[in-house]
Amino acid sequence: MKEIIVDRNSKGIRLNKYLGKYLDAAPQSFIYKMLRKKNIKYNGGKADGNEILSEGDIINIYLSDETVAKFKKNLMTDNFSTNVIKDSFDICRNNKPLENIDIIYEDDDILILNKPVGILSQKAKAEDYSLNEMIVDYYNKREDVDDMFTPSVCNRLDRNTSGIILAGMSYQGTRVLSKMLKDRTLRKYYLTIVKGNIEKSATIKGFLAKKETHNQVVIYSTKQEAIKAGVESPAYIETRYEPVKHGSIDDGRRSYDITLLKVELITGKTHQIRAHLKSIGHPILGDGKYGHKDINAYMRKEFGLKHQLLHAYEIHFPEKVDRLSEKLSGKVFQAKLNDVFESICDGLF
């Protein structure tokens, strides 16, 4: 028999979801069958799986260790497992530990980080060691680790975009962050430098579609235009920007106006800011996918720039934050510019 005492990190989750996480190789039909047969009990009695867990609740699993092991992919959470397969990420775990990344804010429920350029938010291939894996390793060093919970980033940035990443460090924190991002009550601001002289603030709207054969997106002015081009379900996008500073560069052949922009991401789609700004004639400096070839060559030669100048620098939490209100209501957090971006701003403006 296995007895589990629910801790604070797991409160608020439904029993069936908790069991699905614990017996992660078991089909839901098996879990419900065990509940019906009372092989799994909740607080000493029968349960249907829809119960919402509270701290201190007791779950009893009346199955043998061998049966439990059969229905678990991750055997590292149980004492009876001694043959643990080494994690495929062990080779690079010490290359970029999270302790070397700027932690902007941390509590029991959430983590706010300043992601450097060159690190994936989440892995794209099995062998990748992304920021998400770093967060998991960091979480596992805590004293009050919940074996049933896996922390995760709640927003994503492109590999070569730097700035604020939000991560849920408990079920409660993950739910609250995910809800705010979905409801768009958490306001996100970026800094970027673009080609052209932008004098006025504006909100631009459009429809985005991914290219089938390239890791790029296409922007259409209207939904009808996208559908006419053969896109079945174009995604609505909205981007707001305001100019901060103006300057110019001269590559020896011609001069280009440039603008430092503050951008508010209203919707959050793949490559949205990069492609949306390009679609109105203001590509981001250094952007290899959507940028201006001659300007990018100049920036590489003069400043060693090898990535887009896009930084998620500020987030505003709403005045009311469900269940985390005392800590985060109305709070504003900023992420310091990386050295490359800062030195380019100093040189150009």
Domain spans of the chain, in order of start: 2-77, 90-183, 188-316
pLDDT digits (tens, 9 = 90+) for 102-138: 999 999 899 999 999 999 998 888 888 899 999 998 8
CATH homologous superfamily of 90-183 equals: Pseudouridine synthase (3.30.2350.10)
CATH of 2-77, one of 2.40.40.20, 3.40.50.920, 3.10.290.10, 3.40.640.10: 3.10.290.10
Task: Decide which of 191 and 24 is more confident.
Answer: 191
Q: Around 142, how many Cα atoms within 13 Å sit in the side-chain half-sphere?
A: 19
Q: Around 227, how many Cα atoms within 13 Å sit in the side-chain half-sphere?
A: 5
- The tokens 């009050």 sit on which residue? 144
The answer to whether the CB of 272 falls within 8 A of the CB of 253 is no
Tell me if domain 90-183 and domain 188-316 are identical in fold: yes
pLDDT digits (tens, 9 = 90+) for 51-85: 999 888 999 998 877 788 778 765 434 433 323 22
pLDDT band at 87 (very low <50, low <70, confident <90, very high): very low
CATH homologous superfamily of 188-316 equals: Pseudouridine synthase (3.30.2350.10)
CB atoms within 10 A of CB 249: 19
Degrees (nearest 5) of the Cα angle 159, 165, 170? 130
The answer to whether the CB of 199 falls within 8 A of the CB of 257 is no
The answer to whether the CB of 28 falls within 8 A of the CB of 16 is yes
**Does the structure show a pLDDT above 70 at 97?**
no
Which pLDDT does position 73 carry in this prediction? 64
The answer to whether the CB of 193 falls within 8 A of the CB of 258 is yes
For the record, the structure tokens of 98 come out as: 């999270």
